[in-house]
Chain A
Amino acid sequence: MHRTRLNRRDCLTGLTALTALLPAHPALASPPEISFDELYASFSALGLKFSDKILTLTDQTIRIQGFMAPPLKAESQFFVLTQIPMALCPFCSSDSDWPDNIMVVYLDKRQTFTQPNQRIAVTGRLERGSWIDPETGFVSQLRLRDARYGLA
């Protein structure tokens, strides 16, 4: 197998060339965006099916907009992102439950929690599959790891 060895100068030159080719647009840095309507391809009482977009983007860094549900506890680095503001806090009231299409968010470091009426955009690494949060017992299918958020 032929291996090309790059020295530092070659590498820097190459990078410069690459940068020059691309449009100077900050959107380039933005990860792929996904919406709540794109999480699942189908819904049935026998289960949901992940969309192709979710299957493709798993383990990649993505961006999604939504509303922060009330944090489970003040110190938590974990919260639930929902499509619309949640009227009910399922952890507070035994009478309620989460909708199917939610995204669990694990922050890479603590951030100030926002007002519930504010739309936020979260960026993080998409993780797929059933997982139980060890601290809260919360079951989720889709998660963003090492996530950060800002106002949308």
Chain B
Amino acid sequence: MRILLAALAASTVLTGAAHADTTIYPLDRATILVNSKFDFKVELDKVHAENTVDVTVNGKPYAEVFGKPAEFVAEEKGKDDKVLGSALILRDLAIAAPGTYTVAVKAGDEAKSVTWDVYGTPATPRAKNIIFFLGDGMSVAHRTAARIMSKGMTEGKADGRLAMDDLDHMAFIGTSSTHSIATDSANTMSAYMTGHKSRVNALGVYADRTPASQDDPKVETIGEALRRTTTKSLGIVSTAELEDATPAALVAHTRKRADKADIVGMFYDVKPDVLLGGGSAYFLKSDIPGSKRKDDKDYIQLFRDAGYTLATDAAELTTAAGTNSGKILGLFHTGNMDTWLDRNQLHKGTVGKFPNQPGLVDMTKSALEQLSKNQDGFFLMVEGASVDKMSHPMDWDRAVEETIEFDQAVAAGLEFAKSNPDTLIVVTGDHTHGVSVIGTIDDEKPGDDMRAKVGVYDEAGFPNYVDANKDGFPDKIDVTRRLAIFSSNYPDYYETWRPKMDGPFEPAVKNENGEYVANEAYKDVPGAVLRIGNLPKDNDTAVHAVDDVVLQATGPGAEEFKGYMEQSDVYKVLADTFALGADKK
């Protein structure tokens, strides 16, 4: 007994040293590009006198290693002015020498240490250009469904291949966030574009404990790194609002992805050379109908004054891409752009209001045409945003057609790389959805019970989509024997077993108690069945899955993608490929 107690006491001493609520940012095991700017912050659990807080880096006083002292905050305040403890903040730190850095903090009975890996890169770039294709929420099922729907299948063999099927390097990517196994498009894309993991809803920052959304410890984004170390051009293309999490992750620093008006200002600070997408509402000053700003900042005019050619529809984009201004701001919608199916076949959604939106392929080609004029090369990010935006409401037909369109944008990138082989192409998702293709739904089967028309195993057979015009999309989506695609998770909703021909699916709506209930607009669709959800009732739509993402790549640098990688590790491959550790300006 005495021995046991002694052992317990010893282990308590060991574990007690690491105080749970003392936090150092960047977090333990952070990987940091050499010379990249980041904010160093220590959050102490209690209030301490400044002279009692001891911080060392590899055993030396921190200010000696970091080159400057941090600001000491005696009492950090939380909600309702609650005292959270003391803190140290050192903004815009950069470490010039690669290596292992162990930061140790002691204050009273609090102690914490973290170790960072500061990495360098080769001195010379391996590629001139990088095109980073991001299918938001793109999971294995989206790709399988896109291949079958677009190319067809005979006797178990695909009748054709997607562009992304021929990329020769691949890795499994872990998408989890710093505070949860689950994740969102903000922290996931931020990990790709900064090399640091973060918390759900956060972009370009570690999520600290204070309520303010823009005081959190920042990390450098790839947009900023390119501006700091290279003369390359930067392009961002998305079918979402440009302020949405994925495109924003190239430039933004905020704990709250919903800070969309401020994110426009962050784009303006970095000034990507080509910026194409939706979301003009946050560029318009507040007195213009359609604006979602609360101030009179006119970012349309500010970008124009900064030398940008403005395009607001497909025709203007073609004209702008042909100019030599070097800078294009393409804003094609006040909100998110419409899906391929709505733009090209059904004319639903908001297509009636914005009839001349360019597609993702046109935007990608225009961006490549403009960016490739820079002899020093470029970084282009292309997002197929509505793969995710249509997967949340379980509108699988739209989500799969978005995947086909995304794949056609990848094909345009591969075509560019054919004549520009010094181009690295990366194709990946940011997170997955709990979606699977399980067979077919055949209207020709007898009876009215739609459930009986679901074909599984040998009964599934093959769907009967037809692509007579060879555009890679089925000529009509509501064929009689179509793919059966289901989500592993859902709110209460009416399963209609059919494509949503009247506009994107809205499965659930909120009631006065804050709970999501099935949207009765679908109740009377022939064969509709109420499915009781398996998610908590405050979830409006299907959620992201924790499953790994499959990343594929080709071109110089692609061989670094292999096995299992954390999302933050992908940034190191991009940094290596462009030699961002070596200043080439």
Contact = CB atoms under 8 A, between A and B. Distances in A.
Contact of B286 (A95, A97, A116, A139): A139
A141 B506 contact: no
Nearest to A118: B520
A23 interface: no
Contacts of A53: none
Contacts of A137: 294
B506 A85 contact: yes
Contacts of A129: 287
Contact of A100 (B201, B256, B290): B290
B544 to A, nearest CB: 10
Most buried by A among B184, B289, B508: B289
Centre residue among B284, B332, B520, B540 by max chain A CB count within 10 A: B540
Given A45-B280, A45-B354, A139-B292, A97 B511 contact: no
Contacts of A89: 510, 540
Contact of A141 (B290, B294, B300): B290
Given A97-B241, A116-B517, A117-B517, A86 B510 contact: yes
Nearest to B259: A94
Interface residues of A, number: 37
Nearest to B519: A85
Contacts of B453: none
Contact of A86 (B281, B335, B509): B509
Contacts of A67: 509
Specify the main secondary structure of chain A where it touches its partner: loop
A115 B512 contact: yes
A93 interface: yes
B258 A130 contact: no
Contacts of B511: 70, 115-116
B332 to A, nearest CB: 6
Given A45-B332, A46-B300, A87-B509, A117 B520 contact: yes
B420 interface: no
Interface in A79-133: 84-89, 92-95, 97, 99-100, 113-117, 129-130, 132
A117 B509 contact: yes
Interface centre among B257, B292, B509 (most CB of A within 10 A): B509
Contacts of B290: 43-44, 47-48, 100, 141
A36 to B, nearest CB: 12
Interface in B349-363: 350, 353-354
Contacts of A93: 540
A48 B281 CA distance: 10
A123 B45 CA distance: 54
Contacts of A71: 512
Interface of B is mostly: loop
Contacts of A45: 278, 280, 312-313, 331-334, 354
A149 interface: no
A88 B291 contact: no
Residue in B257, B334, B520 with the greatest tally of chain A CB atoms within 10 Å: B334
Contacts of A95: 184-185, 245, 257, 392
A93 B122 CA distance: 42
Given A45-B331, A84-B506, A87-B509, A97 B540 contact: no
Given A48-B288, A97-B241, A100-B290, 16 more contacts: A45-B278, A46-B331, A48-B334, A84-B521, A86-B506, A86-B509, A87-B508, A87-B541, A89-B510, A94-B256, A100-B334, A116-B509, A117-B520, A129-B287, A130-B287, A130-B288
Q: Which 6 A-B pairs have the closest CB atoms?
A: A94-B258, A43-B353, A87-B506, A45-B280, A70-B510, A48-B290
Interface of A: 40, 43-50, 67, 69-71, 84-89, 92-95, 97, 99-100, 113-117, 129-130, 132, 137, 139, 141
23 contacts: A44-B290, A45-B333, A45-B334, A47-B291, A48-B288, A70-B512, A84-B506, A84-B521, A87-B519, A88-B540, A94-B257, A97-B260, A100-B350, A113-B512, A116-B511, A117-B509, A117-B519, A130-B287, A130-B289, A132-B286, A139-B291, A139-B293, A141-B290
